[in-house]
Amino acid sequence: MPLARARAGEFVRDAVVAARDHDDALIYLRCNGAPLLDGDRITGAVVIAHDVTAETLAAQRAEALRQRLVATINHEFRTPLAALLGHAELIRDHASDLDPELAKWLQAVERSAWKLRDLVLEASELVSCEEGDLPVDRRPRHSA
């Protein structure tokens, strides 16, 4: 609790705490506190609280939306992309039987599918970075 920390001599900055209001509804308070001193002796503490319930709930809703988006990207995009790339590879294996114009179209489909796959992976990595889980790319690199 910010008050107890301030009474122990700590300067408290931007501590967000959950509390209940007079109607027993959950609220969030951003608190700043400081000890009250008389010379070297702590005689009390002061805490200023600002209601940040709306901001906190909005952030929680945004996080829930972000998690749903990540789940959608990871499943709803990756699964059809894997099927598309797999079928394109099967067709490519028989490319010698294809009309040259169809082979060119297949190449365009494959290029587009790989670009979309890369975008999906980048979006997933971006979310991981925001969560603090930095992906490590262990593929060998050629230095120029």
DSSP line for 50-63: EE-HHHHHHHHHHH
Does some domain include residue 136?
Answer: no
Does 38 share its domain with 93? no
Does some domain include residue 139?
Answer: no
Does some domain include residue 97?
Answer: yes
Total domains in the fold of the chain: 2
Q: What is the rounded CA–CA span in Å between residue 94 and residue 90?
A: 7
Beta-sheet strands, E only, within 39-112: 41-51
| Residue range of the domain that includes 75 | 58-130
Does 46 share its domain with 75? no
Does some domain include residue 142?
Answer: no
Query: What CATH number does residue 10 fall under?
Result: 3.30.450.20
User: Cβ contacts of residue 16 below 8 Å, gap of 6+?
Assistant: 28, 29, 30, 31, 52, 56
Does 32 share its domain with 84? no
Looking up tokens 């209940």 gives 20
Tokens of 70: 């990540």
Does 73 share its domain with 100? yes
Does 28 share its domain with 85? no
Cβ–Cβ under 8 Å, residues 113 and 85: yes
Phi-psi region of 24 (alpha: psi -120 to 50; beta: other; left: phi over 0): left
Does 122 share its domain with 68? yes
Does 39 share its domain with 98? no
Q: What is the pLDDT along the chain (144 residues), one digit of tens a residue?
A: 999 999 999 999 999 999 999 999 999 999 999 999 999 999 999 999 999 999 999 999 998 988 888 888 778 888 888 899 999 898 888 777 788 888 889 889 999 999 988 888 888 777 767 666 555 566 666 665
With 0.75 as the threshold, say if the pTM is over it. no
